[in-house]
Structures are given as structure tokens and as C-alpha cells.
Amino acid sequence: MWDAHFYTTPNVSGKFLITGGYVASLDDSLGDFPNGAVLVEDNIIKAVGRAEDISAPDAEIIDASEGVVIPGMMDTHQHVSMSLTWGIGVDQHLWHFLSNTYLRWLPSTSVEDLKGLKESGIRAFFGFMHPGHVYIHNTNLTDHEMGLIAKSGGKIALSADADVQMGMGYPPSDLLSSTVYDRPSIRLQLQVQRGLDHNAEHKARRPALKMDFTARDGLIWATRNGAKAVGMEDKIGTLTPGKRADIVILTSKRCLSGSANPFGTAVMHSTPADVDFVMVDGKVMKRDGHFVNVDVPAIRKKAREGLQRILENLKTARPELTQAGIENFFRMGEKSHRANVAEAYVHGAEVGDYLRG
């Protein structure tokens, strides 16, 4: 449900004491705190620990009771221009989507997309084919290709929902402990991998007696690993004193009972409606489940108008490709890919040498 209310109080930095909830620092040197507290001053985390050990009489108190306090998550792959058209590709395989939906329906990323991200207060990173680049949909890469990414300083992100739905294959399980994830995928990725592991045991006529990855692992994929992917692991990704204050409180106040497992709540059971509090770089962006200084009805009106423009443009778009046209689109894509790789051989210098080796 869209939030029709919003706070108009200033979302400026200040001094805050977040206290009373389960604090999942995800910093292995600190640990997690069942009744914890996080002290923030300006945009920096000053202290993390047990609630009874941290006090700040001059700080604004943020009550996190019945909640889980986690680091801000990193969505490592996002098409901003697709935000208006969710659902249009839910029954399509990859090549149908690319040829008949992506190229016909969707507007190109524009200056307006970048402007919107800046106004939202979201941390956003852009880059292409440079050291530290994050690669997505890597379901069928060979070990050699993985080596190229590693040699370039790149990182790999997995998007289980799109990969599985569109026929791109299963995300490679041998990367799960070190890769980064789209936020919408961590719940699905965890369950898909468990299903694959359990099925292998069943086929061998053995009982499935273990789970290699926990809900806490899933939360690390979306926070600590995401920060590492964009080269900011020393600044964000965990609730650690000295890091920037990117903090989220997930609440169970609207549930019948409280949380029996805070990591299960965060990864397996929470929805956007459970996001009670959001702080980005020390600034409060959401409070008591309501956005701060964001007029949601006005934004929703603009979004609906944007979708209508897209639907109108579709009336004059080229016709959908036939099955034969989609197959030709696929062949042309493969041809273009081979040409790009050949170009890398010629002009890739160090990477080209590695390719030849």
C-alpha cells in the first residue's frame, strides 16, 4: 500500500541514539546485540553495543524495540527507467524480453533518471567496463571468463529472480560466499540454493541434513558484500564505529507477535511495509514507516502519467518480432559479442594477453 502521509520535519544530520532492538552489526569483530544500540553523530556511527552500555542524554532517541537494526542494503543492479513498468516481462524469456519489450517499451536511461536518483537521497554508483565494475547475470561464465573479471578487479552480482525466470540459468553456487546480490533476490537465492542442495541429496537417496547458507549469510550478501562491490567497504556495509550512518530498522510491530529470529525476519519475512526507519549518510529519510519530505501521492501521480506516455508510444512502435525474428536477434547478439571479444584481443593490452593465455 502506498503511504499517503509524509513528514515535513527536516531530514538533516544530527545526533541520534537508536536503541532497544536487535542490532545486527554484521561486523564479525563486534558481533550482534539482542538488545542493542547505535549512536550516530552527524553522519558517522560513534558507538555500537549493548543498550545498557551506551547513553547520550543530548541525542534524539529512536525506539527500535520489536525491530531489527541492520546496515543499509546495496542493490547492485538497477534499471531506473524500468521502475514505471514492473511486471511487463513476467511471462517472457530473455530474448523475447530484449527484442519485444526492452527495445520497444522502455525509455533509455536519461539525465532525468540521474536527477531523480540524486533527489531521492539514494547512494548511486555508475560505471562501465572499468576496474571495480560489477557484472550481472553471470550464470554461464567459464572459469576462464571468471578469471578475466577477477583480473580486472571486477565483482560479480547475481539476480536469482530474473536469472531463473528468464531462462538464464541458476546462479553459480560456488560463488555464494563471495558474490553480491540484488536486494530482491536474496530471499529467492537462498531458497533456490537450498532446494538444489536438498534435491542433490534426495537423488542420492540421502536425507537432507544441513543448510550451507543461513539467513544471516543472505543479509551479508546484500550489505557487506554490496559495499565491497562498489569499493566502499571501509565506509558502509556494516554497523561499525567510524563508518557512515546508513541504517535501517525493520519492525515487527504490525505483526501478531514479535520476531523469533531477527535474521529470518530481515531476509525471509519482511516487506517494504515493515521498513520503519531509514537513515542514509546520517540523514533520516523514513520515520515511523513514513517518508520524510517526500510527497508520495504527487510522485505516484507523475509515475502514472509516465506509464501512460510509455503505453501511448507503444502504439507507434514497430510490431513485435516473430519467433524467427527473435532467433535472428539472438544470432546477431552472439555475432556482436564475438566481435567485441575480438576487439579486446587486439586492443586489450594486459587483458588481451590474459585472453590469449
For the chain, list the domains and their CATH numbers.
1-72+236-317 (2.30.40.10), 80-104+121-226 (3.20.20.140)
Average pLDDT of the segment spanning 186-205: 88
> Is the separation of the CB atoms in 162 and 184 below 8 Å?
no
At 33, the pLDDT band (50, 70, 90 cuts) reads very high
Q: What is the pLDDT of residues 75-89, one digit of tens each?
A: 877 777 777 777 777
The whole-model pTM stands at: 0.82
pLDDT of residue 135: 81
331, pLDDT greater than 50: yes
Q: What is the mean pLDDT of the chain?
A: 80
Average pLDDT of the segment spanning 86-99: 80
Closest C-alpha to 65, from 96, 26, 23: 23
At 11, the pLDDT band (50, 70, 90 cuts) reads low
8, pLDDT greater than 90: no
**Using CB atoms within 10 A of its CB, is residue 207 exposed (0-12), middle (13-18) or buried (19+)?**
exposed
pLDDT of residue 6: 44
Amino acid at 75: D
Q: How many CB atoms are located within 10 Å of the residue 310 CB? A: 17
Tell me how far apart the alpha carbons of residues 356 and 280 are, in angstroms, rounded to a whole number: 45
260, pLDDT greater than 80: yes
Q: Taking the CA of residue 95 as centre, how many other CA atoms within 13 Å lie in the half-sphere pointing to its CB? A: 14
pLDDT of residue 51: 97
Q: What is the pLDDT of residues 286-324, one digit of tens each?
A: 999 999 988 889 988 988 888 888 788 777 777 778 888
